[in-house]
Structure 1
Amino acid sequence: MVILSEKRTERDVYEAISDQTRRRLLRLLADAEELPLYELTVHFEMGRTAVSKHLTILKDAGLVVSRKIGRETRYRLNATPLKEIHDWVSFYEDFWKERMFKLNLLLEEQKMKADVSLDFQYTSSIEEVWKALTDSEMLAKWIWENDFKPVVGHKFQFRAEPNKWWNGIVDCEVLEVEEPHKISYTWASQGENTTVTWTLKEGSDGTTHLHFEQAGFSEETKATKGAIEGAIYSWTKMGEQLGKVLDQ
């Protein structure tokens, strides 16, 4: 009785399945309990002797066992040694799953990264600025006419004067309300679906710091010359108008 070392057995299993013909033999045997040599040979463009040599290599690796029935030798699969390869592949499968998970997180972070980011500061209290951001009548004074309500899930519209390039409609839905520190809603217009977020912070001197973000522009829009710059310009003007409304 010959006992192969663990290292030799590992090498034999890997070498045994490295050949396409031997892998196909294993697949044929996996689909049947037992097959004689002649039934295996018909699947290959080679003679019985060549197929028999491949089966011998698989037998040496413990992947195939055979038995004699009269003058006929029948072969069957022994899949146990393949577990070693499965375990080896599984290690790298977990390795790549972890890295793909981290990559997806990074891509999501990049996706949610604000395309437009602006900061404003007002002498008004945080409560006053919050009201200007969430009261429909006040919103109309520095953005556009609207039917806004600070309620998560509420769908509303901003309605501006239409022109030949734009119907003047922005469809929105409230996503987040944290009075008086944060308000977020979708901003869908002309095929673009973005998210607008206002974050308020009260300064030690009684002023209010207002941070604005708009995220989610399509790659096509971001690649369009002047598109993001145009959004920055528009929101900057609105922020200035908000300051005038607060000063009234």
Structure 2
Amino acid sequence: MNEKGQVRDVYDAVADPTRRKLLRMLSDVEELPLHEITVHFQMGRTAVSKHLAILKDADLVIARKVGRETRYRLNATPLKEIKDWVSFYEGFWKERIIKLNLILEEQKMKPDVSLDFQFTNSIEQVWNALTDPDTLAKWIWKNDFKPIVGHKFQFRAEPNEWWDGIVDCEVLEVDEPHTLSYTWLSAGESTTITWTLKKGSDGTIHLHLDQTGFSEETKARQGAIEGAKYAWTNMGAQLGKVLAEQ
């Protein structure tokens, strides 16, 4: 019992690092006398005894007299209260970490650039505009594209003082006439372009563009992603003009 005649709170008892060391020490043995415990601390027997008394008040140690010496052993049962308390918050944080990871995965999967275009042409005509090198050159740039998975090709634009005008690509997916995907490596930035085509109930062809994989540095650079959106929007408008001529 403590000075108020009440059982000491187990949390208060284990709050002190010296008392936690005492519990750890007693957990490795069946029983220890006071003099053997004291040699492990830079304090006298009286100070160690006070710490043991606090642990005894919390029912964390059991003391017994053997002649003139007091021997101590661990009673771990009250620690279950702490274990249960900690377990609740472990579950609390585990659940939130799982939710955080899901949010991060969703953000990772979310495209950096996402645009939609609509055309009144047939789906075959739109697909051809995405895959025929000569037609591609009319609304993107000159190229040596082939709709074959694994094919490596380039888009070649007019170079300027900031850019060599070269985009290195590799075809990743070809599902005619619904999905086309290829890498897009330019100026050290590697992303993925994915075109998705769907025919609406009114016959309109819905063309969706996703560009994913921009580096965090690029995302943080003001105007970089908006610049990419602007460029693809202009190219989409040019595609519309090309298709309108067919």
Q: TM-score, normalised by structure 2?
A: 0.79
1:197 aligns with 2:190: no
For 1:41-190, list aligned pairs within 5 A.
41-136=38-133, 138-144=135-141, 145-151=143-149, 154=150, 156-161=152-157, 162-190=159-187
Q: Which runs of 5+ in 1 are unaligned?
A: 3-7
Alpha-carbon distance in structure 2 between the residues aligned to 1:135 and 1:39: 87
Matched residues in 2 for 1:208 and 1:229: separation?
A: 25
Change over 3 Å in CA distance of 1:90–1:193 after alignment to 2: farther
8 Å Cα contact 2:132-2:145 kept in structure 1: no
1:22 to 19, 31, 48: 19
Q: Is the 8 A contact 2:55 2:61 kept in 1?
A: yes
Cα deviation, residue 173, structure 1: 4.7
Is contact 1:35-1:74 (8 Å) kept?
yes
How far apart in 2 are the matches of 1:189 and 1:237? 18
In structure 1, distance between residues paired with 2:23 and 2:146? 67
Distance 1:79-1:130 versus aligned 2 partners, 3 A rule: farther
Deviation at 1:125, TM superposition (A): 1.1
* Matched positions, count: 239
* 1:229 counterpart residue number: 226
Percent of aligned pairs sharing the same letter: 72
How big is each residue's C-alpha offset from its partner over 1:157-186, in whole Å with a ceiling of 9 and x where there is no partner? Answer: 333145553344434455555543333333
SS at match of 1:180: coil
Kindly report which structure 2 residues correspond to 1:211-222, keeping only aligned pairs within 5 A, or say none: 211-222=208-219
| 1:5 equivalent in structure 2 | none
CA distance in 1, matches of 2:42, 2:165: 71
Gap regions ≥5 residues in structure 2: none
Measure, in 2, the Cα distance between the counterparts of 1:148 and 1:68. Answer: 90
